């Protein structure tokens, strides 16, 4: 059943990834097509503006002369960046250049251009000049201007930087497209990272499950054998042997408890733990956990402060485990005689449970990590760590499922304070 659920989750994730990739590819293709269309529109717009400007130049050249304007459209676009203008009249190069610069400026055409005129005596195009409309220093050009058949008085205009000029007018949209591509790449990378993390998480969970199950078989045999030895008269008559068997039994039970905890955490990764909320008296549960800790270590001092009795709506088993884990951590990470204070306060946001100890505390940079799975605090004396790093992870998980908030902070002198905030709707 678990395998089927895992396969179902994987299948759903794969469907989401495929749909996301299709959507990403569709957006990218649409963006490229839109950019191409925008460039075509800019090109048409530039052609129209150039056409209008050249018509105005022709009108200027005819002003003050007796001849009439050509009956047909005098402007002809020969190539993308090349125009021929038939004026059917004689004109001066310097006047032509002045009119070209003036009319292009009026139409907001700011790209460089060059022009040439047809010389009927030599039957060839005579290069006029390269005109820089921008502040950039123009470079020398010597471009070939082809002749046009059946025309006598005409000039040609070429825009050598038309493509780059049009692209520069679309630079905002190119920046937007580039930003969109970056976002899409981040999305693709995020999907890849999620897949990898899911793969590693499944491998980790499978490894933990297999490892703990493999441990339980020999551990059960050790417990059975040690329990049998403990009942033998020969063993019970010799105190040292009896102590040894007691140690074996106690440590085996402790190891079995740790294995069960690891299994429960690994199982809860797949789905939330099943909770059975009920109304619980808070103070008896705190006192019971305190007595249990004192039996484990007689030197522990636990004080409980509360204004009145409170009734919580929580899962008895898991809430008891929360209290025990917090108290056990306070004892485990303490180099002095353990002193723990449990304070229960009612405030505006809800009920606040504070567990304050006199332990070694946590380095400020690592304070946010203590609720992470497998994170463990090193002992200041031996630089060793105890346990599996699952206790506080389990506490945080249960608090989250109860919709409670949990936080931790170092005390001013030494030790740690862990606070659980329970909303008003969960207690009375």
- Say how many domains are in the chain: 3
Report field, pTM of the whole predicted structure over 0.75: no
For residue 68, the 8-state DSSP code is P
Q: Average pLDDT in the 185-201 region?
A: 79
| Domain-located, residue 19 | no
| Domain-located, residue 7 | no
Residue with tokens 């009734």: 311
| Domain-located, residue 91 | yes
| Domain-located, residue 421 | yes
Whether 63 shows a pLDDT value over 50: the answer reads yes
Nearest to 407 by CA among 362, 377, 376: 362
Together in a domain, 117 and 139: yes
Q: Average pLDDT in the 91-105 region?
A: 86
Helix (H) or strand (E) holding 158: strand 154-158
More confident residue, 297 or 421: 421
| Domain-located, residue 304 | yes
Q: What is the DSSP string of 100-150?
A: HHHHHHHTT--S-EEEEEEETTTTEEEEEEEE--SSSPPPP--------TT
Work out the angle at residue 329's Cα, subtended by the Cα atoms of residues 276 and 265, and round it to the nearest 5 degrees: 45
Together in a domain, 264 and 149: no
Together in a domain, 128 and 203: no
Residue with tokens 């103070």: 283
Q: Provide CB contacts within 8 A for 190, sequence distance 6+.
A: none
Give the per-residue pLDDT at 383: 47
> Within 13 Å and on the Cβ side, how many CA atoms surround 1?
0
Together in a domain, 315 and 260: no
Chosen domain end from 169, 184, 219: 169
Together in a domain, 77 and 163: yes
Give the per-residue pLDDT at 141: 56
Together in a domain, 398 and 336: yes
Helix axes 2-62, 93-106, angle to 10 degrees: 140
Together in a domain, 346 and 413: yes
Work out the angle at residue 66's Cα, subtended by the Cα atoms of residues 65 and 67, and round it to the nearest 5 degrees: 95
Give the per-residue pLDDT at 281: 92
| Domain-located, residue 120 | yes
Cα→Cα distances 367→80, 361, 363, 377, Å: 66, 9, 6, 10
Enumerate long-range contacts of 193-198, CB under 8 Å, 24 or more apart. 194/13, 195/13, 195/17, 198/13
**Residues of the domain holding 378:** 277-426
Nearest to 94 by CA among 138, 118, 61: 61
Domain harbouring 347, CATH code: 3.30.565.10
Whether 373 shows a pLDDT value over 90: the answer reads no
Q: Provide CB contacts within 8 A for 175, sequence distance 6+.
A: none
| Domain-located, residue 392 | yes
Together in a domain, 394 and 287: yes
* Structure-block tokens of residue 286: 């705190």
Give the per-residue pLDDT at 2: 46
Q: Average pLDDT in the 106-116 region?
A: 88
Together in a domain, 283 and 250: no
* Structure-block tokens of residue 183: 């976002």
Together in a domain, 200 and 133: no
Separation of alpha carbons 249 and 258, rounded Å: 14
Q: Give residue-wise pLDDT tens across range 297-346.
A: 888 999 999 989 999 999 888 898 899 889 988 888 888 889 999 999 99
Length of the chain: 428
Residue with tokens 């292009």: 104
Together in a domain, 165 and 203: no
Whether 354 shows a pLDDT value over 90: the answer reads yes
Give the per-residue pLDDT at 140: 53
Chosen domain end from 250, 270, 290: 270
Whether 99 shows a pLDDT value over 80: the answer reads yes
Q: Give residue-wise pLDDT tens across range 122-165.
A: 677 777 788 887 665 555 555 667 777 777 778 889 888 888 88
Give the per-residue pLDDT at 339: 92
| Domain-located, residue 13 | no
Helix (H) or strand (E) holding 157: strand 154-158
Separation of alpha carbons 99 and 105, rounded Å: 10
Lowest-confidence region among 93-97, 101-105, 256-260? 256-260
Confidence grade of residue 379 (pLDDT, cut at 50, 70, 90):
low
Strand pairing report for 301-306 and 339-346: parallel
Strand pairing report for 350-356 and 416-423: antiparallel
Chosen domain end from 270, 295, 310: 270
% of the chain with per-residue pLDDT over 90: 15
Together in a domain, 327 and 349: yes
Phi, psi of 290 (to 5 degrees): -65, -40
């Amino acid at each position: 059943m678990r395998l089927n659920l895992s396969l179902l989750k994987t299948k759903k994730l794969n469907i989401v990834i495929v749909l996301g990739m299709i959507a990403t590819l569709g957006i990218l293709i649409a963006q490229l097509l839109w950019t191409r269309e925008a460039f075509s529109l800019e090109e048409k717009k530039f052609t129209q503006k150039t056409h209008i400007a050249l018509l105005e130049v022709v009108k200027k050249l005819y002003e003050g002369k007796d001849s009439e304007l050509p009956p047909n459209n005098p402007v002809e676009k020969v190539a993308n960046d090349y125009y021929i203008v038939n004026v059917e009249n004689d004109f001066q190069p310097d006047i032509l250049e002045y009119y070209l610069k003036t009319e292009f400026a009026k139409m907001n055409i700011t790209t460089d251009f060059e022009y040439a005129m047809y010389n009927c005596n030599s039957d060839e195009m005579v290069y006029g000049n390269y005109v820089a409309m921008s502040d950039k220093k123009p470079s020398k050009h010597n471009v070939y201007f082809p002749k046009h058949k059946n025309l006598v008085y005409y000039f040609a205009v070429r825009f050598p930087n038309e493509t780059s000029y049009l692209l520069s007018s679309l630079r905002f949209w190119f920046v937007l497209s580039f930003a969109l591509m970056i976002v899409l790449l981040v999305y693709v990378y995020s999907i890849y990272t999620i897949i990898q993390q899911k793969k590693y998480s499944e491998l980790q969970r499978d490894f933990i499950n297999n490892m703990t199950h493999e441990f339980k078989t020999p551990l059960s045999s050790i417990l059975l054998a040690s329990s049998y030895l403990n009942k033998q008269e020969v063993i019970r008559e010799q105190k040292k042997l009896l102590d040894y068997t007691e140690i074996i039994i106690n440590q085996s039970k402790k190891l079995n408890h740790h294995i069960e905890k690891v299994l429960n955490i690994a199982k809860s990764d797949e789905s939330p733990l099943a909770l059975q909320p009920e109304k619980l008296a808070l103070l008896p549960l705190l006192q019971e956990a305190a007595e249990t800790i004192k039996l484990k270590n007689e030197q522990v001092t636990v004080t409980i402060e509360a204004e009145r009795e409170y009734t919580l709506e929580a899962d008895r088993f898991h809430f008891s485990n929360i209290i025990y884990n917090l108290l056990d951590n306070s004892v485990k990470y303490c180099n002095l005689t353990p002193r723990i204070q449990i304070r229960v306060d009612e405030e505006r946001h809800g009920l606040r449970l504070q567990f304050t100890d006199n332990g070694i505390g946590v380095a400020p940079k690592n304070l946010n990590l203590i609720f992470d799975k497998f994170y463990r605090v090193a002992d200041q004396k031996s630089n060793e760590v105890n346990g599996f790093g699952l206790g506080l992870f389990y506490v945080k998980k249960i608090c989250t499922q109860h919709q409670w908030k949990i936080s931790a902070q170092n005390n001013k002198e030494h030790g740690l304070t862990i606070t659980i905030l329970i909303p008003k709707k969960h207690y009375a």
